[in-house]
Structure 1
Amino acid sequence: MKQIENIVFEFKKYVLDFKFDAGTSRGVLKKKETYLVKAYSKLFPQIVGYGEAGPLPKLSLDDVSDFEEKIKIACQELTQRKVLLSKDKIFEFVQSHIPENFPSLRFAFETALLDLLHGGERMVFDTEFVRERRPIPINGLIWMGDRGFMLEQIDKKLEEGYDCLKMKIGAIDFDQECELLEYIRSKYDQNTITLRVDANGAFAASEALGKLQRLSQYDLHSIEQPIRQGQFEEMATLCAETPIPIALDEELIGIHSLASKESLLKSIKPQYIILKPTLVGGFKSCDEWINLAEGLDIGWWITSALESNIGLNAIAQYTATFDSDMPQGLGTGQLYFNNFESPLLIETGTLVYDQTSKWEI
């Protein structure tokens, strides 16, 4: 275990430009503001760890107007601190110094320190994903938009070899969305293509079960967050009666303590949970969710949340520490014109780490 003294934290704002208007249930995104956190020792300034803090607009707990000031204060207060460089000690350090209502900051500082621990070479976790190019299966994401735009994406993802598609729904007419699902199923059955849908809480609680019953004819793997978060009784009833497995997503935001996490899972009893380190408070928090879920026989998978390749790389490497064949939600790195060059590549519906490619930050 190494102890680094005189550690320095710095940050820099970066604006990512989408290649298209990214439609979500909370509006259309054209740009994404994010912040890179650097960690290094004054004794070895050439060895630098990087992390990323990028709150999601209108969703993240730390989507606040003075976020840049908050990250500035965090970097100033933590600079010159002594840090024991081991995974567990890093997790303890971050949780004790970064407030729980700044989950993307926790994720950024965890990542920067873990990168520093492994020599500042963007290895956040030592896995076969990095060392041996072991692929991670991922879902192809179909963004919201008009029918023609969504149809174009579906055809492209199928041509690219994905065997798991995730379609965002709730933005256009429900009948048209069902037609798009019918289009996929007319070409590929559930044994060939796995279909997921994500409603981002778009259904009213009173109509959700009826819509789920209609969607069930398309042999869906799951539906994410069918109703708005915070409706615990309604969600519990829906999970008990649903014809389609339900995955909680936004529902996990703002649930911090281990006891609160356990209470939520035991009361709602979802079929799956979806973990986004940026939104739920980093890797330590994800570990807690996963341990609880597995103890309750609840499935899970991990998803990025519009990070640049810095954040995506960290999430992918964390995912690779688990032995899971479940397709993950790790394909957002291709969304931006000005993403950082990295060894991350998408090949036939999988994410790989190509050691022959270099990082450019």
Structure 2
Amino acid sequence: MGLVLEYKKHVLNFKFAAGTSRGVLQTKEAWILKVYTKGNSNTYGLGEVSTIERLSFDYSVDFATELEELKGELSRHELPNSTEDIYKLVNQLVSAYRPAVRFGLETALLDLLHGGEFKIFDNSFFNTQKGIPINGLIWMGDKSFMKEQIDEKIKQGYKCIKLKIGAIDFETECELLSYVRSEYSADQLTLRVDANGAFITQEVLKKLERLTSFDLHSIEQPIMPKQPEAMSLVCEKSQVPIALDEELIGVFDKREKINLLKDIKPQYIILKPSLVGGFAATAEWIAIAESQNIGWWITSALESNIGLNAICQFTAEYNYVGHQGLGTGQLFDNNIHSPLAIQEDQIVYNKTLSWDYGDLGF
């Protein structure tokens, strides 16, 4: 019996205008995949094809056409009987240049392999509700809006917060960082910032020098990607540890990954499975980073709870150190209801809660 693929488009609505250095997000498109074995539609796996406009490598793809073609290809294959065989099948059927589709198909097939109960990986996150520490995300906006978010996250119990910077006046952003540090030392609160490539290359070292006074854990992607010599110099000269994020998008060949990290020598890399090509690709990045003594953490990329659940379970496959970026499920007013919940500064799979995706029409 071959595999059957169904898919539905789902537009997620932000609860607020989500500001980044690239602009403001109001909505985000996702394609939800449903995969089952022909003749047994009662047991199925769900996955998510998730992209971010102007950031994802494949955001401009006509997914309706791509997924229809994939539907035909899948019908000629049986469900693999292991995680590794699923990775091999996805690699065979989906081009590396379709990272979001790889992520969605891997998730749906892994879900189906484990019985279609939203169990993507067999580990403590799903089985025993062990929590994963996460950072609290502070979105860009005016000073009062950002300060309000900071106060709320700290009140909720977060031990690590991450500020999006680069969209408002730099001095105002420094004032916000100074405000945090006046109340909480680095021992009390881990502070990360994410520039999303906003700093001009000629000014970046000067700004990084200014940021050293705030005891930052790291800064993500201070300059735009694809400037390897400039980024290498930044990593060498900056007293604030550098984390690569957008720099990894569109790098699919293993040798290119090795050389990129070897040439730039960042202190950290940040991995978004739906942007780098799914779980097999993410695992490859982790292995390469660890071989070069480069730290890493995993973040979601504004997926619905279907994608977020899969990323959390993948993260729990590792002995993660530090806070992960997995707190995005509360951003949307029409997210898919799930057992994912935030308890202080951890995300957990609360089995007293249930899934509800009836609006998708599956």
TM over 0.5: yes
Of 307, 324, 332, which aligns to 1:328?
324
Alignment of 1:87-236 (within 5 A): 87-236=83-232
Contact 2:37 / 2:79 at 8 angstroms: preserved in 1? no
2:124 partner amino acid: E
Please say if residues 8 and 80 of structure 1, whose CA atoms lie closer than 8 Å, have aligned partners that are also in contact: no
Verify the 8 A CA contact 1:303 1:329 in the aligned structure 2: yes
- Structure 2 counterpart of 1:220, which letter? L
DSSP-derived class of the 2:229 partner: helix
Q: What's the Cα RMSD here?
A: 0.9
* Structure 1 contact 85–113 (Cα < 8 Å) conserved: no
User: Identity percentage over the alignment?
Assistant: 54
CA distance in 2, matches of 1:234, 1:198: 18
Distance 1:68 1:32 in 2: 16
1:174 partner amino acid: F
Deviation at 1:65, TM superposition (A): 5.0
- Render the CA deviation track for 1:102-155: whole Å, top value 9, x for unaligned: 100000000000000000000000111111111100000000111111111001
Q: Which amino acid aligns with 2:115?
A: G
Separation of aligned partners in 2, 1:204 and 1:82 = 51
1:350 corresponds in structure 2 to 346
The code of the aligned residue for 1:79 comes to: S
Task: Report the residue type matching 2:132 in the other structure.
Answer: I
Please give the alpha-carbon distance, in whole angstroms, between the structure 2 residues aligned to 1:298 and 1:49. Answer: 34
Superposition deviation, residue 25 in structure 1? 1.4
Hey, what's the Cα distance between the residues in 2 that align with 1:173 and 1:62? 31
Equivalent in 31, 47, 50 of residue 46 of structure 2: 50
CA contact (8 A) 1:202 1:227 kept: yes
Superposition deviation, residue 84 in structure 1: 1.7
Measured against aligned partners, the alpha-carbon deviations of 1:163-209 in whole angstroms (never above 9, x if no partner) come to 00000000000000000000000100000000000000000111111
Q: Aligned partners of 1:178 and 1:79: how far apart in 2?
A: 55
Q: C-alpha separation between the residues in 1 aligned to 2:282 and 2:330?
A: 24
- 3-state SS in 2 of match to 1:61: coil
**Number of residues of Structure 1 aligned to a counterpart in Structure 2:** 357
Shift of 1:54: 1.3
Alpha-carbon deviation of 1:243? 0.5
Give yes or no for the alignment of 1:19 onto 2:54. no
Counterparts of 1:69 and 1:159, CA distance in 2 = 46
- In structure 2, how many angstroms separate the alpha carbons of the residues matched to 1:290 and 1:316? 15
